[in-house]
A and B are shown apart, each in its own frame.
Chain A
Amino acid sequence: MTAILFYILSAVCIISSILMIFHKNAMYSVLYLLICFFSVAGLFVMLNAQFLSIVHVIVYAGAIMVLFLYVIMFLNMSTPVTIRKSKLIMVIACFTGAMVCFVLTTALWATDFGSDPAIVDQNIGMASILGKYLFKEFLIPFEVSSILFLSAMVGVVIFNKKDYKDE
Chain B
Amino acid sequence: MNDITPLQDQLRLVPLEHYVFLCLVLFSIGLTGVLLRRNLINVFLSLELMLNSVNLLAVSFSVYYNDPNGQAFVFFVMVVAAAEVAVGLAMLVMIYRNVHTVDINALNDLKW
Decide if A and B touch, CB cutoff 8 A. yes
A-B contact count (CB 8 A): 248
Smallest CB gap from B53: residue in A:
A40
CB contact under 8 A between A33 and B49, given known A49-B59, A71-B89: yes
Residues 44-81 of B contacting A (Cβ, < 8 Å): 44-46, 48-49, 52, 55-56, 59-60, 62-69, 71-72, 74-76, 78-81
Asked whether B5 lies within 8 Å of A98 as measured between CB atoms, the reply is no
Q: From the candidates B52, B87, B93, name the one contacting A74 in the complex (CB within 8 A).
A: B93
Asked whether A67 lies within 8 Å of B63 as measured between CB atoms, the reply is no
CB contact under 8 A between A17 and B49, given known A64-B81, A104-B28: yes
Asked whether A121 lies within 8 Å of B42 as measured between CB atoms, the reply is no
Asked whether A108 lies within 8 Å of B20 as measured between CB atoms, the reply is yes
Smallest CB gap from B38: residue in A:
A83
Asked whether B45 lies within 8 Å of A160 as measured between CB atoms, the reply is no
Instruction: Point out the residues of chain A lying under 8 angstroms from B14, CB to CB.
Output: 2-3, 6
Q: From the candidates B60, B66, B103, name the one contacting A81 in the complex (CB within 8 A).
A: B103
Asked whether B41 lies within 8 Å of A68 as measured between CB atoms, the reply is yes
Task: With both chains docked as a complex, state the minimum distance between the C-beta of A63 and any C-beta of chain B, in angstroms.
Answer: 7
Instruction: Point out the residues of chain A lying under 8 angstroms from B82, CB to CB.
Output: 59, 63-64, 149, 152
Q: From the candidates A97, A130, A149, name the one contacting B71 in the complex (CB within 8 A).
A: A130
Instruction: Point out the residues of chain A lying under 8 angstroms from B36, CB to CB.
Output: 21-22, 85, 89-90, 93-94, 97
Task: With both chains docked as a complex, state the minimum distance between the C-beta of A136 and any C-beta of chain B, in angstroms.
Answer: 10
Instruction: Point out the residues of chain A lying under 8 angstroms from B1, CB to CB.
Output: 119
Asked whether A133 lies within 8 Å of B72 as measured between CB atoms, the reply is yes
Instruction: Point out the residues of chain A lying under 8 angstroms from B35, CB to CB.
Output: 89, 92-93, 96-97
Q: How far is the CA of A52 from the CA of B19 in the complex (A)?
A: 17
Instruction: Point out the residues of chain A lying under 8 angstroms from B13, CB to CB.
Output: 2-3, 6
Instruction: Point out the residues of chain A lying under 8 angstroms from B83, CB to CB.
Output: 148-149, 151-152
Instruction: Point out the residues of chain B lying under 8 angstroms from A159, CB to CB.
Output: 90-91, 93-94
Instruction: Point out the residues of chain B lying under 8 angstroms from A113, CB to CB.
Output: 15-17, 20, 64
Residues on B lying within 8 angstroms of A by beta carbon are 1, 5-22, 24-33, 35-39, 41-42, 44-46, 48-49, 52, 55-56, 59-60, 62-69, 71-72, 74-76, 78-87, 89-94, 96, 101-103
Nearest 5 Cβ contacts at the A-B interface: A97-B32, A21-B33, A101-B28, A3-B13, A93-B35
Contacts A47-B19, A60-B48 known; 9 new A-B pairs at CB < 8 A: A36-B52, A47-B63, A56-B78, A59-B81, A71-B41, A71-B92, A101-B24, A108-B20, A160-B93
5 contacts between A and B (CB under 8 A): A2-B14, A75-B92, A81-B101, A83-B37, A153-B86
